[in-house]
Amino acid sequence: MKEQEHDLKHLTKCPLCKAKYSHSQASVLEENEARTVFHLTCSKCNSAVIAFVSDSQQGIVSLGVATDLTGQEAGKFLKSNTIEPEEVLNVYEYLNN
C-alpha cells in the first residue's frame, strides 16, 4: 500500500476540470513490479481516468487516459485476453467479402 500511496502523489488533478483528486475515490485495478493501474473519478465533474504509473530508471512515468468506464468495467477489460493480429485480419477479410 505504501507504493500505491507514492504513485498516487503524482496524480493530483483532474485533467478535465483541474479539481484536486480525492484519493479515496481511486481504486487499484492492477499492480505488479513494473506498474500500477488506477481508476480515478473526479468528485467535481464526475469524469473518470485510467492512470498507468510505472517506476523506471528515468523516474516515475505516468499516463492518464480519460474513459467512460467505471472502475469495475475497466478492471474487467484489463483482465480480458488480448486480440491477436490474425483475429483482426480475419474480421477485416470477413467484412470485405
Q: What number of other Cβ atoms are within 10 A of residue 93's Cβ? A: 9
> What is the C-alpha to C-alpha distance for residues 92 and 97, in angstroms, rounded to an integer?
9
Closest of 70, 22, 26 to residue 51, by C-alpha = 26
CA 41 distance to own-chain centroid: 11
The pLDDT value recorded for residue 50 is: 92
Average pLDDT for residues 26-53, to the nearest whole number?
Answer: 89
Confidence at residue 81, expressed as pLDDT on a 0 to 100 scale: 83
pLDDT of residue 62: 83
Mean of pLDDT over the chain? 84
Please name the helix (run of DSSP H) or strand (run of DSSP E) that holds residue 92, with its range, or none: helix 85-95
pTM above 0.75, yes or no: no
Return the higher-pLDDT residue of 86 and 15: 86
